[in-house]
Structure 1
Amino acid sequence: MKLTRLVGECDEGECPTIYATDRGTLAVQGGLVTDHGLNIPPHETLAEIPVDLIRKAIRDNLI
């Protein structure tokens, strides 16, 4: 899968980031959420990112 960085909070690669994939989907890099109480399948996970990151992506017409 090819990822293209759309928006992130820093350039070092270890910060919340939204990527576009070559499959027409989005991939999100963020903090792993473990205290959610949901029944998440083993092949999925939850990542937490700042709301402002989504706002910036929308404002900049990236998504």
Structure 2
Amino acid sequence: MRLRFLGSTSEAGACPSLYETDRGTIVVQGLHVTDTEALSDLLHVLDGEIAVEVPRELLVDIAREVLR
């Protein structure tokens, strides 16, 4: 799988960031959610899956760019 950087809300282009894959999917780079109360709200978590947190504005900004 190959990744193409889509954008970030950080100054240096580090975390949090979004990437597009050559498989037509999106990879999210963000802070690993470790809060047990928040994790208990997740549904249908499969083995090997984790939750990451990214700012809402990052998703909105990338969506606007992609949908142009």
TM-score for both structures, normalised by structure 2: 0.75
Bigger fraction of residues in helix: 2
One-letter code aligned to 2:46: P
Q: Tell me which moved more, 1-10 or 33-42.
A: 33-42
CA RMSD of aligned residues (A): 2.2
Distance 1:42 1:9 in 2: 29
Cα displacement (A) at 1:15 = 1.3
Gap runs ≥5 in structure 1:
none
TM-score for both structures, normalised by structure 1: 0.80
One-letter code aligned to 1:21: T
The aligned length equals 63
Are the aligned partners of 2:5 and 2:19 in contact in 1 as well (CA < 8 Å)? yes
Aligned to 2:53: 48
- SS state of the match for residue 18, structure 2? strand
Gap runs ≥5 in structure 2:
none
**Do residues 32 (structure 1) and 39 (structure 2) align?**
no
One-letter code aligned to 2:60: R
Deviation string 1:2-49 (CA, Å, 9 cap, x unpaired) is: 000011123645310010001110000000012211463331111100
One-letter code aligned to 2:4: T
Identity %: 40
